[in-house]
Amino acid sequence: MLTILNHLGLGDQLVINGLVRHFAEIEDCVQIFAKKSHVPSVRFMYRDLGSKVVVVPVHGSCHTAEMMQLAKGRVLKLGVHGTPHQLFGDLVMGKYSEYTNWVAMMYIQAGLNPNTMYKKFKVVRDKSRELLPPDKPYIFIHDDKQRGREIKIYGSDKEIYRPIVSKALPDGTYEFDDFNIFDYLSIIENASERHMMNSSYNWLVEILEIGSKSNNFFHLNIGAHDYFPERNTKTLCTADLWTFV
């Protein structure tokens, strides 16, 4: 059995999909962690693998030591869990951030080519549960007004569609409401434009290669990770897929 100590953001869960699937091919079982609010999305993502992937719900930020208490078998520490804090900061935000980014770092920590994120990503869609797109042309926006992160669109008469955002809690997690990010795939695909902050939805567009730079707009100054250097953030995005604003 392999236990992976992973970062707990929903974007992080999407990013390590290929990594988890790689190890599920060679291990009898892979155990990962997820915030309770993200468990429906994460379990949906691996449901085709049955008992090969075990998703352990955790509360709050759940530090490395807490994860280790729940670990079984061999342990693979990713990101901040396997890197001294000062070095991690230097790699993703500081003096070494022009040489790598946090996604590439995690795959390298696992001994994998970072392209594995794209090549082995998989989610078996369930079109019967996906939300129906609006009948009229619309713009999809993912931001987070409750945390002061708002994307404003000017000069368009198209309908604005924002996904429902779960209520944010003081510990940095979200209220559990059975949210599943994959329910929005049809809506994302059929939008005339997609405007996104640096967060989980942009990773769906990036990894699944939805749209093109003519209708995908990445808002660099808005998002959960706006402390990353702009040049570094751009390395997370395929150039032909995004227009930076």
Same domain assignment for residues 178 and 213? yes
DSSP-assigned letter for residue 240? G
Same domain assignment for residues 43 and 142? no
Q: Is residue 86 part of a domain?
A: yes
Q: Is residue 128 part of a domain?
A: no
Here the tokens at position 199 are 């967060």
- Give the pLDDT confidence of 70-124 residue by residue, as tens digits: 999 999 999 999 999 999 999 988 999 999 999 999 999 999 999 999 999 999 9
Q: Is residue 124 part of a domain?
A: no
Residue 224's pLDDT is 63
Q: Is residue 127 part of a domain?
A: no
Same domain assignment for residues 143 and 107? no
Residue 206's pLDDT is 98
Q: Across all residues in the chain, what is the average pLDDT? A: 94
Q: Is residue 133 part of a domain?
A: no
Same domain assignment for residues 21 and 112? yes
Worst-scoring range by mean pLDDT, 66-75, 147-156, 171-180?
171-180
Residue 142's pLDDT is 95
Number of structural domains the chain divides into: 2
Mean local confidence (pLDDT), 118-136: 97
Looking up tokens 């019967």 gives 128
Q: Is the pLDDT of residue 225 over 80?
A: no
Q: Is residue 51 part of a domain?
A: yes
Residue 239's pLDDT is 93
Comparison of pLDDT for 2 and 227, the residue scoring more:
2
Task: Name the strands in the sheet holding 243-244, side by side, starting at the edge strand that comes first in the sequence.
Answer: 159-161, 138-142, 193-198, 216-223, 243-244
Q: Is residue 221 part of a domain?
A: yes
Q: Is the pLDDT of residue 215 over 80?
A: yes
The span from the CA of 154 to the CA of 245, in Å, is 13
Give me the residues paired with residue 195 across strands.
Answer: 141, 217
Residue 145's pLDDT is 86
Q: Is the pLDDT of residue 226 over 80?
A: no
Comparison of pLDDT for 228 and 154, the residue scoring more:
154
Pairing, β 193-198 against β 74-77: unpaired
CB 166 within 8 A of CB 179: yes
The span from the CA of 89 to the CA of 15, in Å, is 19
Comparison of pLDDT for 141 and 199, the residue scoring more:
141
Range of the domain at 231: 138-244
229: left (phi over 0), alpha (psi -120 to 50) or beta: beta
Worst-scoring range by mean pLDDT, 131-140, 152-161, 167-176, 230-239?
167-176
Same domain assignment for residues 12 and 72? yes
Worst-scoring range by mean pLDDT, 41-45, 151-155, 175-179?
175-179
Same domain assignment for residues 212 and 163? yes
pLDDT band at residue 180 using 50, 70 and 90 as cut-offs: very high
Q: Is residue 174 part of a domain?
A: yes
Other beta carbons within 10 angstroms of residue 221's beta carbon come to 12
